[in-house]
């Protein structure tokens, strides 16, 4: 049986994840085009021009990762009795995914402006080489560049919880269906990262933010009521 404090804290954390995802998506879509550009000079110049906006989304995603760590155990408890083995395994994947999300996003936010300043270093004697190094190593900053754990691992957990909830009637069928759709959005995000398909990534972020608001938000409120 889940202790009331676990539900209470987990509920607030789940609601926080829902809000953070929506805020991060909003920041992504209102950001200047340069901050979404794959062309290095345009992207790094935009970082110099909009330093706070360049890292705001990363900090919000880092917060979502921290909050996710508090939500996973409480949400998993809804369906653990249905299949404890699968739930425990997927819960661990989700914990790893949220932890990587927090650390990777905070790391990226911390070093982004300094990398941009070095990219445009006018005093460097090997300026072109500096630019190449900064550009080529951009993908080394995230700890999970393809999102296999930060999106894929969390997506597998959401899918498992939602499918078991649908089978065991732990959630209303609509919420379980939203969870399955959210898991699909996580998987699409992984595919877009691995293939470099920017339009697909944009769709995954937009649709995923709406689905996350509904799924995490509803479960968070249910956890609060049950506490």
If we measure between CA atoms, which residue out of 174, 177, 180, 173 comes closest to residue 157?
Answer: 180
CA 210 to chain centre: 13
- Looking at the structure of the chain, the number of domains it has is 1
Torsion of CA 98, 110, 50, 128, to 10 degrees: -120
Contact, 180 vs 173, CB < 8 A?
Answer: no
Averaged in consecutive runs of 10 residues, what is the pLDDT profile of the chain (227 residues)? 79 96 92 85 89 93 96 92 92 96 91 80 60 61 84 96 92 93 96 87 91 96 85
> How big, in percent rounded to 5, are the helix, strand and coil portions of the chain?
85, 0, 15
Q: Token digits for 4?
A: 């009331």
Query: Per this entry, what is the length of the chain?
Result: 227
* 171: nearest Cα among 72, 98, 82, 84: 82
Q: Residue 187: which domain range? A: 4-226
Decide: 133 and 93 in contact? Cβ < 8 Å: no
Gap between the Cα atoms of 28 and 223, Å rounded: 30
What whole-number distance in Å separates Cα of residue 45 and Cα of residue 151?
Answer: 28
Task: Look at residue 109 and give its three-state secondary structure.
Answer: helix
The predicted structure's pLDDT at residue 74: 93
What are the residues whose beta carbons fall under 8 Å from the beta carbon of 184, sequence distance 6 or more? 155
Per-residue CA distances from 139 to 78, 125, 142, 198 (Å): 37, 25, 6, 15
Q: Considering only CA atoms, which of 169, 170, 180, 190 is closest in space to residue 214?
A: 180
């Amino acid at each position: 049986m889940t202790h009331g404090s676990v539900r209470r804290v987990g509920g607030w954390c789940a609601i926080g994840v829902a809000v953070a995802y929506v805020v991060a998506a909003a920041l992504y879509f209102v950001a200047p085009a340069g901050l979404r550009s794959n062309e290095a000079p345009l992207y790094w110049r935009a970082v110099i021009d909009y330093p706070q906006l360049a890292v705001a989304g990363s900090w919000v995603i880092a917060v979502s990762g921290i909050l996710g760590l508090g939500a996973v155990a409480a949400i998993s408890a809804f369906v653990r009795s249905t299949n404890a083995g699968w739930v425990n395994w997927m819960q661990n994947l989700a914990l790893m995914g949220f932890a990587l999300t927090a650390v990777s996003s905070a790391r990226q936010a911390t070093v982004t402006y300094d990398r941009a300043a070095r990219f445009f270093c006018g005093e460097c004697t090997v300026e072109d080489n500096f630019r190449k190094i900064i550009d080529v190593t951009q993908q080394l900053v995230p700890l999970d560049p393809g999102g296999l754990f930060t999106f894929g691992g969390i997506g597998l957990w959401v899918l498992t919880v939602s499918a078991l909830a649908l089978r065991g009637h732990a959630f209303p069928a609509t919420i379980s269906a939203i969870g399955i759709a959210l898991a699909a959005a996580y998987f699409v995000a992984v595919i877009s990262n691995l293939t470099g398909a920017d339009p697909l990534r944009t769709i995954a972020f937009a649709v995923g933010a709406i689905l996350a608001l509904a799924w995490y938000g509803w479960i968070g409120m249910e956890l609060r009521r049950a506490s």
